[in-house]
Amino acid sequence: MKVGIPREVKNNEYRVGITPVGVHELVARDHEVLIEKGAGEGSSIPDEDFVAQGATIIDSADELWGASDMVMKVKEPVAEEYHRLREGLTLFTYLHLAADEPLTRELVDKKVTSIAYETVQMPSGLLPLLYPMSEVAGCLAPQVGAASMMRPAGGSGMLMGGVGGVANAKVVVLGAGVAGQNAANIALGMGAEVTLLDTDLDKLRMSFWRYGNRVRQIASSKLSVRDEVLSADLVIGTVLIPGAKAPKLVTDDMVAEMKPGSVLVDVAIDQGGCFEGSRPTTHADPTFRVHDSVYYCVANMPGAVPHTSTWALTNATLRYATALADKGWEEAMREDTPLSLGLNTHAGHITCEGVADAFGESYHPVAEVLG
């Protein structure tokens, strides 16, 4: 199989879809790996490192997409890439289609077989290809939140850890999954007073033992969310429903009553965001204001730390990439149910229920597609 790795073109996206280790594994299985010139530079991986493992460097993005049987990316195709989508192409990347109707229409109309990293799901509920980037985004959230709380950035001027005789910042984390636990861990390490909310009591119990009762755990409800948010200096939203739009947990009315200069970081923005006022932003222009609060809603947060992110992502995706290349997507999915849940579109149909529901379209189950 010819596996293509294009250069990412999303704003300030420095990750790349594979590492030299990944190239080595695919080439060893007699596959051909095509990499767009300079694709790894943002992750400190020069073309020469890919070539040394058997990759072929392609100058043109159009040529690479046209020659590839399967394209592996990091982020979803943006508008300038839509013309490269075509029938017969297998696309393996993060898609987040429930929050992106234009891309969904393009994939359906052009009959692309698209496989989303974020909907590959184990029987336990674990999302193995989302996990590493949730770790990274969770770790980043308190850092960007702390920077946004500084007065020059429009925040209240609150220091996360405080100093002697001055209160620490109050950080509220919505969602105790992978991103939420990592956010709580970093915020706690920065000296903040941290509260974690979730509807899953087992996750809250786990955090009780993990943090030695140094993080407050509150069962999430409309009332508890409101009470905690109104007193927060920093709110980090990490709530996720696999394949579907994130629920709106923080309303604009709540934000209107928050402390002036408070900050909200929406890690769930890829799936539409969990704050009512959220809209995607970029690393080049990351924040905006709602009432007297600062919102940080960068849709590719891990792209800011590409050296860590690229290697962490390939560690997770490589197993599935080699299966898709070795067996083709149909046979690979018949043998691996978690991978089959990653199929989002095929032959002009939507095969992910959450995506179909988001746009009121008909849903074609993967089992039906695989016969």
State the catalytic residues. Answer: 96, 270
Can you give the chain as a three-state secondary structure string? CEEEECCCCCCCCCCCCCCHHHHHHHHHCCCEEEEECCCCHHHCCCHHHHHCCCCEEECCHHHHHHHCCEEECCCCCCHHHHHHCCCCCEEEECCCHHHCHHHHHHHHHCCCEEEEHHHCCCCCCCCCCCHHHHHHHHHHHHHHHHHHCCHHHCCCCCCCCCCCCCCCCEEEEECCCHHHHHHHHHHHHCCCEEEEEECCHHHHHHHHHHCCCCCEEEECCHHHHHHHHHCCCEEEECCCCCCCCCCCCECHHHHHCCCCCCEEEEHHHHHCCCECCCCCECCCCCEEEECCEEEECECCHHHHCHHHHHHHHHHHHHHHHHHHHHHHHHHHHHHCHHHHCCEEEECCEECCHHHHHHHCCCCCCHHHHHC
Contacts of 33 by beta carbon, 8 Å cutoff, 6+ apart: 3, 5, 18, 23, 26, 27, 50, 54, 55, 56
